[in-house]
């Protein structure tokens, strides 16, 4: 089928190096490499970075990453294990700002950081935030994060960031491999400004032009409008 992932991936023109693949999509390229090379995949003519891990059982190249780059946007894919020890989202935001001038950097970075945190903790690690209301609860919460992150299946789950041109700005989509949730129900809840946790969606809603969810709550879509 012409629209299949295999067909589209075959058109990329893969140049294989040790642990590195440069996937060419017309004038754009995606770097698939170890996490240490993430900065290279978000600059120097690349349109995205996909973390390569020799222990992964499934190819990290996915249809949404290809489609975002084909649209003129950007992509980033990294494992939960790596995201717990690094912050590639900031590099992704800088690449988005460079690609789409006129965006508000503070609004973009704040929303993406909150969305990525939710994708890692609530999505891929499957943890609620109710324990973080006290110091004792916070200690238990951190222990659970460590326990879940030690599970190789959860550690291998991915967070994918994609940027899509919209004409008047960009839509950032943050996707995880968790069980999903009812985004509409969460957004309908009043924001408790005194709460020590659970305010992420409310904060994202304030700094974005529009947000909505897809894929059963596993993808959060955030629209940003340029000032130009």
CA pair distance 53, 216, nearest whole angstrom: 27
What is the average per-residue pLDDT within 100-108?
Answer: 94
pLDDT in tens, 118-139: 999 999 999 887 766 666 667 8
**Tell me, what's the pLDDT at 199?**
61
Instruction: Identify which has the larger pLDDT, 70 or 187.
Output: 70
pLDDT in tens, 5-60: 444 545 554 333 444 556 665 557 888 888 998 988 888 778 889 998 888 877 78
**Tell me, what's the pLDDT at 4?**
47
**Tell me, what's the pLDDT at 212?**
92
| Residue 5: Cβ-neighbour burial (10 angstroms; 0-12, 13-18, 19+) | middle
**Tell me, what's the pLDDT at 136?**
67
Confidence tier at 207 by pLDDT (50, 70, 90): very high
pLDDT in tens, 142-193: 888 899 999 999 999 999 999 999 989 999 999 999 998 877 777 666 655 4
**Tell me, what's the pLDDT at 13?**
44
pLDDT in tens, 215-224: 999 999 999 9
**Tell me, what's the pLDDT at 60?**
84
Instruction: Identify which has the larger pLDDT, 24 or 102.
Output: 102
**Tell me, what's the pLDDT at 174?**
97
Confidence tier at 109 by pLDDT (50, 70, 90): very high
**Tell me, what's the pLDDT at 84?**
93
**Tell me, what's the pLDDT at 155?**
94
Question: Does residue 77 surpass a pLDDT of 70?
Answer: yes
With a CB cutoff of 8 Å and minimum separation 6, the contacts of 23 are: 9, 12, 13, 14, 29, 30, 31, 32, 61
What pTM does this model have? 0.84
Percent of the chain whose predicted confidence (pLDDT) is above 90: 50
């Amino acid at each position: 089928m012409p629209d299949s992932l295999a067909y589209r991936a075959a058109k990329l023109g893969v140049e294989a190096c040790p642990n590195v693949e440069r996937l060419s999509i017309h004038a754009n390229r995606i770097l698939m490499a170890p996490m240490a090379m993430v900065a290279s995949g978000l600059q120097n003519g690349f349109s995205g970075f996909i973390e390569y891990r020799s222990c992964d059982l499934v190819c990290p190249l996915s249809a949404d990453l290809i489609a975002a780059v084909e649209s003129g946007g950007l992509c980033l894919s990294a494992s939960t294990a790596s995201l717990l020890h690094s912050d590639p989202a900031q590099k992704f935001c800088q690449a988005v700002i460079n690609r789409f001038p006129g965006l508000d950097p503070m609004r973009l970075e704040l929303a993406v950081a909150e969305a990525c945190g939710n994708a890692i903790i609530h999505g891929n690690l499957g943890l609620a935030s109710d324990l973080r209301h006290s110091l004792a609860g916070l200690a238990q919460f951190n222990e659970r994060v460590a326990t879940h992150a030690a599970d190789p299946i959860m550690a291998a789950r991915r967070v994918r960031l994609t940027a899509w041109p919209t004409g008047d700005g960009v839509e950032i989509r943050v996707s995880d491999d968790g069980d999903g949730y009812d985004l509409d129900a969460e957004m309908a809840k009043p924001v408790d400004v005194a709460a020590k946790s659970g305010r992420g969606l409310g904060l994202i809603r304030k700094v974005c032009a529009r947000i909505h969810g897809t894929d059963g709550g596993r993808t959060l879509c955030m629209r940003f409008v340029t000032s130009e």
